[in-house]
């Protein structure tokens, strides 16, 4: 059965690193997630290190966007529209390919009904198929010192000049991991989806709690 895997986690938990290790066939990572001999592809629209152009992709799906919130510093409608159609386009291509696994890097806005309802629209189309299993990995870093180190190495973080803002971000992000997991759980709760809590180490991963789907 084909698998679509959403990878969530607060900034600094290693989402892109995990996806690239799986895609590039790192043996230890493949073994941890039981993906040896699997054909793996990615939704490039969700990965910041890819350059795939989605502007000319046609979105054949229909959405109710009547309640989308206005643009603000946390949300830009045009960017969301490209991201949403890219995810749906990549997913449909995956369904019709010979690949076994599709990896999608999730972000908080994907779970917001007023910011495109990306997860809701995705689940409506793909969350209840008999030929596809949807899974979610929520990455966490238990070691706060390690997490802070990762955050400080982020390019976006290094562009912030105000030390007070840096300190606030470090505190908020490292303390929000539990709340982020609950947000993911809520976003996927009505679908046949298994959610895995994954401890993200420097060179290894550990699957911890597993939330089985309520709907069978």
**Residue 175 reports pLDDT greater than 70:** yes
Which of 77-86, 114-123, 150-159, 185-194 has the weakest average pLDDT? 150-159
Indicate the pTM of the whole model: 0.92
d(CA 136, CA 140): 13
Contact (CB, 8 A) for 200 and 19: no
Print burial letters for 26-50: b (CB count within 10 Å at least 16), e (below 16): eeebbebbebeeeebbbbbbbbeee
89-129 pLDDT, tens digit per residue, is 999 999 999 999 999 999 999 999 999 999 999 999 999 99
Residue with more model confidence, 93 or 209 = 93
Which of 46-55, 79-88, 190-199 has the weakest average pLDDT? 46-55
Round the average pLDDT of the chain to a whole number and report it.
Answer: 91
Task: Look up the CATH number of domain 2-211.
Answer: 3.40.50
d(CA 56, CA 213): 36
Between the alpha carbon of residue 18 and those of residues 46, 103, 126, the distances in Å are 14, 10, 23
Joined tokens for residue 205:
């991963």
Which of 3-7, 41-45, 64-68, 90-94 has the weakest average pLDDT? 64-68
Contact (CB, 8 A) for 39 and 3: no
Domain locations in the chain as residue ranges: 2-211
Tell me, rounded to whole angstroms, the distance of Cα 27 from its chain centroid.
22
């Amino acid at each position: 059965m084909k698998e679509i895997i959403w990878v969530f986690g607060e900034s600094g938990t290693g989402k892109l690193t995990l996806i690239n290790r799986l895609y590039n066939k790192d043996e230890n990572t493949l073994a941890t997630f039981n993906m040896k001999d699997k054909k793996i592809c990615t939704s490039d629209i969700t990965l910041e290190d890819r350059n795939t152009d989605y502007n000319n992709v046609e979105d054949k799906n229909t959405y109710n966007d009547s309640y989308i919130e206005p643009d603000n510093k946390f949300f830009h409608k045009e960017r969301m529209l490209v991201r949403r159609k890219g995810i749906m386009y990549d997913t449909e291509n995956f369904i019709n390919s010979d690949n076994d696994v599709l990896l999608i890097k999730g972000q908080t806005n994907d779970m917001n009904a007023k910011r495109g309802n990306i997860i809701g629209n995705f689940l409506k189309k793909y969350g209840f198929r008999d030929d596809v299993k949807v899974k979610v990995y929520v990455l966490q870093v238990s070691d706060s010192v390690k997490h802070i180190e990762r955050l400080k190495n982020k390019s976006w973080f290094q562009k912030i000049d105000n030390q007070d803002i840096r300190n606030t971000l470090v505190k908020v992000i490292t303390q929000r991991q539990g709340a982020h997991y609950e947000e993911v759980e809520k976003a996927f709760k009505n679908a046949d989806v298994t959610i895995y809590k994954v401890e993200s180490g420097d060179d290894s991963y550990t699957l911890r709690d597993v939330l089985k789907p309520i709907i069978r």
